[in-house]
Chain A
Amino acid sequence: MVKEPLRIIGDGLEQHDSPPPEELTEKDLVALYRSLVILRTFDERAVSLQRQGRLGTYAMYWGEEATHAGPLYACNDTDWLFPTYRQNSIGVLRGVKAATILAWWRGYGGELGFYQVREHRVAPICVPIATHLPHAVGLSWAAKKQGDGICALTWLGDGATSEGDFHEAMNFASVFKTPTVLFCVNNQWAISTHVSRQTATATLVEKRAAYGMPGLRVDGFDVLACWKATKDALERARAGAGPTFIEAICYRIGPHGTADDPRLYRDEAESESYRALEPLGRYRGYLQRLGALDDDQAKDLHDEAKELIAAAVVEMEALDFPGVEILFDYVYASERPVSLTEGLDELRSIERRPEVKPLGPQPVASTGDADAPPGDH
């Protein structure tokens, strides 16, 4: 039988609230709310910027913020994060400029679109699936060799559990007892592919058993449950007990990305039914029942986040359009090979084409018309 996931925040109906973990002060509880608000604000703003043609294709995470903010808040500042594109803005909570991440989605590279990873202990946003997991294992393994007490937290989706690199990372982590937390956001959808097509197992968490790794399931809409599971896992890791696999059950309420139309492959009534569980409102209700957050405080936090992201948008749009040098910058850490200097010379010798803008608003196809041959309308 599948065990009920760890849950602390009730849904106001059948599920009752449990008290917050005792390690968390009221200040912590509010700080967690603040993290959720910043992530939500970033995401909503990014989607609207994309619709206005000011960003390229964007992968939103509306409804999954608890799986980002909870685990992050459980980390020490010196622990490393290995995000995927779904956690693209996680660096903002570690001091990365939101403008830099927005610029990445705008198609900018170099100093404009990539952040300094060592300063923030946030690895570059990983676009391919599951390939960053061995990096998290390797980094935390190195930290363990040096006796630094530093852990790595990495995220993956349900689809990633089908990739070979996932299994290789799980295996290395277990064999070498690396201080790694593998946080799997099971939002049930990999673009149009349901999790039932990724695996024949009843849960994702049971995969950890094949590696001799501990693990548990949590409610992925519950920021406190996500925090608690990660906190315990990090403590075990720091004590030398090795890695943990966490499966956070939630639902991808939005599309995969701005170019995706879920109506083509799933019943949107189902995704609507999950909206009521979204983590920000649910946590706010919990805090209010606890008397830990009043409306004025909440409003201040929302205003602060809006200002932060608005300023980031201004900053991003003020960036100079990247020059041709950016193609050749940092391909090598050592001196540029001659074929690169020749390439740069060639580009400089011809007149430049007008600025490339992000693609305009994506038409939302309703019936797959986008695939119809030209002239078929």
Chain B
Amino acid sequence: MNWTCDETRRHLLRQDNLSEAALEHLAQCAVCQEMMELPTDIEHESGSNAGEIDIAGLLSQTELQLSRERGLLAWLRSRKTPVRIALGVSVALIPAAAQLAFSRRRDLGDYPLPWLLLAVVVYLAIVVFATKSVLAPLFRPKSSLALASAAALAFSLPFILAALAPTHAQPVSHVEIQHSFLYHAAVCLRYGTLLSFPTVLLFVAMDRQVARGRLFLILTASIGGIVGNFALLLHCPNGQLAHQLLGHATVGLVLLICIGAAIVFARLRSRNTSEGS
């Protein structure tokens, strides 16, 4: 999968195939970027089935597109990357802070403190790491592997923490079991999902790309999942493993399904619109 400078040179001299790995390497390698700009044979042989593009016409279209870049969304997208990251992390922490301030779990005093601190530190670290990955600008080289690792980590973390969460040192029950297990799980799932929705929307709004990749969507849903889990950790005293897994850890999965459904809906709608016109 690794592409080297020697392969770029080979491509230039012999028209070898270019792959995604080549593009990943080119985005990171100053030497190859310069090599690719050398006018060599390959440039004149079309290299593609594209004819000349109308530069003046394209400039008009681009300027028209830029004239639509107004309002809150455009403002958010054009903020400096550190500002977008700080804003993303801040908004991601609001639900947890709100739970702590207004709706903290009744057993917080009995809950094992080291575990609580560990969970908080891990959640904070992964929120920062995932936010930096998802909002990384295009002028910085993006490693697919790093992005995929961040997505996998952020998505699986709530399940891992739920599975490892300890029970209380003293067997106390702060949960009033009035309804079925599924009912309690559904209530937590809905609560966590609702709390994480603003963060997901903000991340989508701050993203600068027109066409978003799968990894972006998975990572955004996963960040939402962490936000929901973090808030639920500080809110819900039900420590049952099954409840933790089904009611808390699946927030990210629900968000992913919601985002996927929204994309499918948008695609179907745009297809129907184009067929109708």
A and B found bound together: no
